[in-house]
Amino acid sequence: MREAQASEVRVIDAAFVAGAVDDASLPPPTMAEVAFAGRSNVGKSSLLNAMMQRKSLARTSNTPGCTRQINIFEVRCSDGLSLRFIDLPGYGWARRSKDERAHWQKMIESYLTHRASLRAVVALVDVRRGVEEEERQLIEFLALPRPVSERRPLEIVLVATKIDKLSASARKPAVERVKQAALAGGIQGAKLIGFSAVTGAGREDLWARIRAAVL
């Protein structure tokens, strides 16, 4: 039943609601939230635009370090589902000062650890790079128990993105390699979705995962 609905996800309303630089500037945790995490330039904001069916609601750039605060979007689907999407700043790579990087890290970790309304984290990996040290650290961090009381544990969804950059024949083995690396990194029964913000591949699968996590 849920699967059938998920294959037809239409976003009827998507809006930017807030940009937060620390826990205190976040809106009250009144709606289910799904956060998107991954290194700088991996394609978080682009993926969000594809999921929300909006061309440039979340700002994207060729230059790593584009998203510098926790950007919060509210999304309403045609079947009445409402939720928030959280666009996190990327880590690593960005040409920022050490202090700024440390501040981001603290902000992101604090959000992921303490946010009571957080239901799922979508962790993005570039399909061409696979799981490297940064990704391993993120995955390990996400697997830690959280202090907030929860009905169920945080859902972690892995996405291998930019699959359009590979030839059709190279895609499947590359996605499989990322999956094996995630399993080796300790993600139990790693769920992995191949995605492209350019072609929209993987969008319905990812929506299905997100819905299952928030409903």
Secondary structure of the chain: what % helix, strand, coil (to 5)? 35, 25, 40
Only one of the segments 73-81, 158-166, 184-192, 206-214 lies at the binding site for ligand GTP (rule: CB under 6 A); that segment is 158-166
Q: What is the nearest approach in angstroms of ligand GTP to the Cβ of residue 163?
A: 7
Q: Based on the shown chain and the rule CB under 5 A, indicate whether residue 57 belongs to the binding site for Mg ion.
A: no
Residue 142 · residue 36 · CB < 8 Å: no
Distance CA 188, CA 139 (A): 11
Helix axis angle, 44-52 to 203-214, nearest 10° = 80
**Residue in the shown chain whose Cβ atom is closest to Mg ion:** 67
Q: Based on the shown chain and the rule CB under 5 A, indicate whether residue 161 belongs to the binding site for Mg ion.
A: no
Q: Based on the shown chain and the rule CB under 6 A, indicate whether residue 160 belongs to the binding site for ligand GTP.
A: no
Distance CA 32, CA 119 (A): 6
Q: Based on the shown chain and the rule CB under 6 A, indicate whether residue 52 belongs to the binding site for ligand GTP.
A: no
The rounded radius of gyration (Å) of the Cα atoms in the chain is 16
Residue 138 · residue 159 · CB < 8 Å: no
Binder of ligand GTP out of 27, 64, 130, 185 (CB under 6 A): 64
Q: Based on the shown chain and the rule CB under 6 A, indicate whether residue 62 belongs to the binding site for ligand GTP.
A: yes
Only one of the segments 60-68, 73-81, 108-116, 159-167 lies at the binding site for Mg ion (rule: CB under 5 A); that segment is 60-68
Only one of the segments 106-114, 171-179, 186-194, 195-203 lies at the binding site for ligand GTP (rule: CB under 6 A); that segment is 195-203
Q: Based on the shown chain and the rule CB under 6 A, indicate whether residue 197 belongs to the binding site for ligand GTP.
A: yes
Residue 55 · residue 2 · CB < 8 Å: no
Binder of Mg ion out of 67, 117, 161, 196 (CB under 5 A): 67
Closest CA to 88 of 131, 56, 124, 132: 124
What are the b/e assignments for 69-86, b being 16+ CB within 10 Å? bbbbbbbebeeebebbbb
Binder of ligand GTP out of 9, 37, 42, 112 (CB under 6 A): 42
How many binding residues for ligand GTP (CB under 6 A)? 24
Residues near ligand GTP (CB under 6 A): 38, 40-46, 60-62, 64-67, 89-90, 161-162, 164-165, 196-198
